[in-house]
Each structure stands twice: as structure tokens, then as C-alpha cells.
Structure 1
């Protein structure tokens, strides 16, 4: 392609020089037509685009919150595992908070706490049984006929005792109030009256029926006891690691949930001070050192997964992208290695980018057999085979 571009000025200069060297009217020159040939894409059919070798996965890592970097654990070129801590911010206070919330949760879930929860369940069940018996009793007479007959008999005896005590008092009523005999008679008479009153009240209650208020109170007590038992059972289940429904309630359960939430929040805050690699790979960039301030969102460490490399186009134009589709075969020329490798399109971006004023679309190609020596960042030329 370069040869015609070089020869063309020489031919034109020679022709012009020849014309000027000859006297008289200039002799008309024939039209020069250059057969420069087509582009590689046109020659082979299909579409050609430039590209670059990229890792299949890359992690650009930044802290969500700003702070002073306490330690950087890696350097460029080091291999790292997924989950490995690459750098940490100063976090002494957060470590203390995590320890506090852990201790609090341990106290709430200790063997002693479990034992107390078990006892609470037993007590709550007994309370339910007691209140249930009281509710059941509302449907039955308050006393048997024999008991009522017994009390009525006691009432008759009490009436006789009261009559005798009253008669005795009348015999000494005329005496002075501070007279011992008169005082004893008063006490005997009033005691007999109170005893009779109590017996009459008892027999009336035994013969009567529960009021609406009595029934309402009994059922309310049973509902309260049943709810308390359910909450005690939920609390015990949570302590034993058993599943509980989302609607579960109770003071013990609320305290446990709050302790768990506080611990989770403290741990999340601590984790936000640690830069953790989400993938296994190789560190390709470290842009921070211990003692420096890390701004929120600033990329500080980059990890690439070099075990699998792909090719991405950089200048596939909007005119050519309709000719490219997923699964299409492609030939990739690795310029640094001077090799042509077969590949296949695995992705075509639906989002346009702008390159030097041109609209381009990124396309991803997976090589069938990546050669030794292939590195991220190497330049390539990609030829997409013409659709059949």
C-alpha cells in the first residue's frame, strides 16, 4: 500500500519536468490511474477492527469511605486469592465496637440464657394451664350441692350462735362500756355476726353465675398467657438456631435481634475499612501507600485474572457493527507475536462509545488457543468473517 503513495509524486514530478523542458505548447499528459487495491477487509470480505488483549475479569478496588491507610499488604505482580485483604484503613475504634457487640451477643445466647429461656417456657405453659382451668370453670357450677348444703347448715348454726351472743350481750348491756364482761359480750356478738355474713356471702357466690366482666377477664388472662407462651417458645427457638416466622415477637426476641443487628452493623463498618479482592488473580496496580489518605471511590488497587484472556475491539464503527454478531468467527492478528489466531465473538456491546468523533461499539472475542507470551494490553487486528 505504501509503494504507490511514494511513486505517485515521482511520476508527477517527472512528467511536469519533462513538460517544462520542452519548448512551445505543453503536450497533454495522459491520466494516471493507480491500482492501490482494497483494504484487508475488502480483500478478504467481512469487517476489520483494531483491538487490545484484556483479562477476562478485572477488579478495580476502592474504599467506600475515606480514611488514612494503615497497611498495604500487596505489591504489583503479586498473586492474590479471592477474599484476600489487600489494604486496610485505620480501624481501631471499629475493632473495639465489633468486640463489644460480640460480647453482648454471647451473653444473650450463653448456656445460662438458654436455660433461663427454657424455664420461661415451662412457667408460661403452667400459666396457660391455670388460666385455661379458670375459663373452663365458668361453664360449671361454682360448688357442688353437698357443699352448698353444708354451708347452709353452717349458716343455721351461725344464726343460733348469733342469737345466743346477742342474748348474752343484752344481759350486760346496762354495764359501763369499759366493763370487761360487757366488752367480751360485744366481741362475741360481733364475731358471730361477721361469721354469719361471710357464710351467707359464700353460699350466694356458690349459687350464682359468672358475670360478663368475670368471663371477659378470664378469657383476657388466657389470651395473655397464650401469647406469652408463644413468645417464650419463639425466643427459645431462636437461641437454639431454629427457624422462626417473620411475624415473631417478644422482648427476648427483640433484644436478640437488636444484638445481632448491632454486630452486623459493626462488622460491616469494619469490612468497609478493608480492601478485599473479589477474585483470584494478579495485582497489576497499587496507587496508595501506608499513611496516605484514601479518598472514597478512588481506585487504589487493580487485580486482573490472567488465567483467561480475551480480545476487545476499540474502533468497530457503527457502519460495521451490524455485520458482527455473537458466535461469528474471527481471525485475530497479535502484532507483538506476529501470529494469526482463530476466535469467536462472545459479546457485542449495545452501548455506543465515541472515539475521535466516531461512534464505535466494543466487541469481545474469545481466542480458541491463546499462545504463550500473550499479555493484557497487546495490540491486535481483528478480522470478522463475512456472514455466510
Structure 2
């Protein structure tokens, strides 16, 4: 009986031990740590989004440098034009007249220079020599008359003095007219300058001839005055005639010497300067005439036209907008200072437009403005994105959304 109880007790101990061990394993025994796998870094593209507007690669607003009345409009909005093509013309009658006047002055200056460079012709020298001989003959006659006179004035002497004065006055008038013609100047269009082609050798010769003619008139008048005063003045009149004839002879000799010696270096330089000045006047007048026609600076299309024939336009007022729409760009409008530091030239971009739903265009960053602008209280920078696969439906000014891939 007692052994049976011992067996039952032993069995109970075993059962309790098994239950205790199982509970320990379930709730109290430490468990082995399971290794945690290393995190996997996944590469993803980071983008910066901005809004912008579609623009042509090149565009310009054209205006006249000088105002005027529009004579002819040669284009219409939407027209394709080539570089150098005339677009609009102003009335240019006065400008053409100014060119013609400047060209005439240039021709005169060139002719004067050519004459100076060529020197005197043989017939001119021969004429000057004949003038010297004639002046010497007049001087000899005046000396003979002075030597012959011994008494008072006669009616013949007074008549002779009057004739000499009349002849001297005629010579004086001719010399004055010639001097006025030689010294005539022409105004340069669109400036306060003048061109005087006759300055130099022709003016010096004309001035000397005029002085001699004036001296001759004074001498002839004095001789006539003396002759009419009485017999005692005849010799003085004769002496005045000798003086006048001497002046005429000296002038003729000076003219001959000048022709034989040719122009001086100073005279040649002055003639060349006159040609250069006249050429500058022609260039200025021609440039003003050319400015009366508005020319296309590059190939493109007429995006906007703001003028009609007959309208008066002011200088610098834009009247034509020209654009090269063969390629397009997008300029951002709201890229912040926080984002712009991550943008670099040549980064790729995707472009979407409200006007073309479902269409995504590829682009490339081509420019970043170095200076910021403040828009609606935010500091922004303008980034230019070239559209690499332009759509034919793109238009100037369309709103675009740009996503720039910065990583």
C-alpha cells in the first residue's frame, strides 16, 4: 500500500516537472535574436517644379530711329520674312534731295582736288604769259604818258581819266563776282557744318585779283579827281595811272609764277580735307536715307504689326514685332531661391502645357539668370529651358509647367 502511494507521488512530481518546464520554455526562457536585414537604398529622381511661358528663341521689337510719315507697309502679320528684307518705308523725298546735294558738293571738291594735283595746263600758262605782256604794255603806256605831260589838265586828259575809271569799275565788278562764286559754301545735311569746295588755291587767286581791281579803281578815281582839280594835277594823275598799271603787272606776274610752281603742300592738304568732309556729308545723308526703311535683322515671322500707311510714327516707338519661331524655349516665372541652387546648365527637364493635355515635351536647361527678381514678395530666378522636341502647335505665350531633374 505504501509503495503504491510512492509511485503515485513520483508520477505526480514528473507530471508537474514537465508542466513547469513547458511553461518556462514558453514564457521565461530567452529566445535567439533574428538578424535584421540591411536597408536597401533605392535611387529616385528628384525634380524641381516651376511655371513658365513659351517664347521663341529670338524676338525683337523694331522701330525707326527717326520719326516720319509711313509711305509703304510691305508686310502683314504672320508673314515669313528673310534677313535684310524691307518691311516698312517712310516718306524720303527730302532725304533723297539731301543726298543729291551732298553728292554735288563732293563732286565739286573732287574736281578741285584733281585740278590741284594735275597742275596748270599749257594753255593756262600761255594765257597767264599773255596777261603779263598786256599788263607790261599798259604800264609802259602809263609811264610814257606821265613823262609826256608837262602842263595843265586838258579835256582829253579828263576824258582819259574817266575812261580808265570806268574800265577799272568793270574789272572790279568781275573780280567781285568771281570771288563770291569761289567762296560759296554748301550746308551739310543734318548738321551745322558747311563744305566750301573753293577754299585754297582758287580762293587765294580770286582774293588777289579782287584786291588788284580795288586798287585799280582807287587809283583811277584819284587820277580823275586830280585831273578835274586843275592843270597842276595832270602829272599826279599820270603817276596814279603808273601805280595802277604796275599793280596789274605785278598781279599778272604772280599769277604766272603760281601756275608754273604748282600748288603748295598746304593747298593740297586743304583740298584733300575738303573732299573728306564732303564724303562724310554724303555718308551721313545716305545713312539717314537708309534709316527711312525698316529692315528685318534675321529670318522670322511677323508676330505683330502696329502701323498703317499714312500714319506718323515717332522715333523709337515699336511698330513691328519679329520672332524666329523655328525653335522654342520656356522661361520660368516662379523658381525660388531655395530651388535655383540645385539647378545647373544641361540638366534635363519635362514640359507640360495646359493647352496640350496629355503631351509631355523634353527640354534642357540652357541659362540661369545671375540676378534675382522679387515677384509677389518672393525672391525668384528665371531659368531658360530649351524645348528639344517642339510641337507644331506651340504658340508664343502659352503657359507651361516645367519639372527639372536635378538628381
Question: Does the residue aligned with 1:263 lie in a helix, a strand or coil?
Answer: helix
Residue 351 (structure 1) aligned to one of 367, 371, 386: 371
Residue 370 (structure 1) aligned to one of 386, 390, 399: 390
Q: Which residue of 2 is the match for residue 90 of structure 1?
A: 91
Correspondence 1:334 to 2:350 = no
Change (3 A) 1:354 1:275: farther
1:195-237 Cα deviation digits (max 9, x unpaired): xxxxxxxxxxxxxxxxxxxxxxxxxxxxx999829x95xxxxx
Equivalents in 2 of 1:89, 1:319: separation in Å? 51
Residue segments in structure 1 that go unaligned for 5+ positions in a row: 1-42, 123-223, 233-249
Q: Which residue of 1 is the match for residue 400 of structure 2?
A: 380
8 Å contact from structure 2 (residues 47, 403) kept in 1: yes
Deviation at 1:352, TM superposition (A): 2.5
Correspondence 1:361 to 2:361 = no
8 Å contact from structure 1 (residues 46, 323) kept in 2: no
TM-score, scaled relative to structure 1: 0.52
Change (3 A) 1:281 1:106: farther
Aligned length: 225
8 Å contact from structure 2 (residues 65, 316) kept in 1: yes
Change (3 A) 1:328 1:109: farther
Correspondence 1:315 to 2:334 = yes
Instruction: Output aligned runs, 1:273-312, within 5 Å.
Output: 273-312=292-331
Equivalents in 2 of 1:102, 1:84: separation in Å? 27
Over the aligned positions, Cα root-mean-square deviation in angstroms equals 3.0
Equivalents in 1 of 2:348, 2:341: separation in Å? 15
Change (3 A) 1:117 1:343: farther
Question: Does the residue aligned with 1:331 lie in a helix, a strand or coil?
Answer: strand
Q: Which residue of 2 is the match for residue 119 of structure 1?
A: 118
Equivalents in 1 of 2:314, 2:45: separation in Å? 51
Q: Which residue of 2 is the match for residue 54 of structure 1?
A: 55
Deviation at 1:264, TM superposition (A): 1.6
Instruction: Output aligned runs, 1:135-154, within 5 Å.
Output: none
1:344-369 Cα deviation digits (max 9, x unpaired): 11111123333333332221111222
Question: Does the residue aligned with 1:323 lie in a helix, a strand or coil?
Answer: coil
1:9-38 Cα deviation digits (max 9, x unpaired): xxxxxxxxxxxxxxxxxxxxxxxxxxxxxx
- For the pair shown, the structure with the greater C-alpha radius of gyration is 2
Question: Does the residue aligned with 2:341 lie in a helix, a strand or coil?
Answer: helix
Residue segments in structure 2 that go unaligned for 5+ positions in a row: 1-43, 122-260
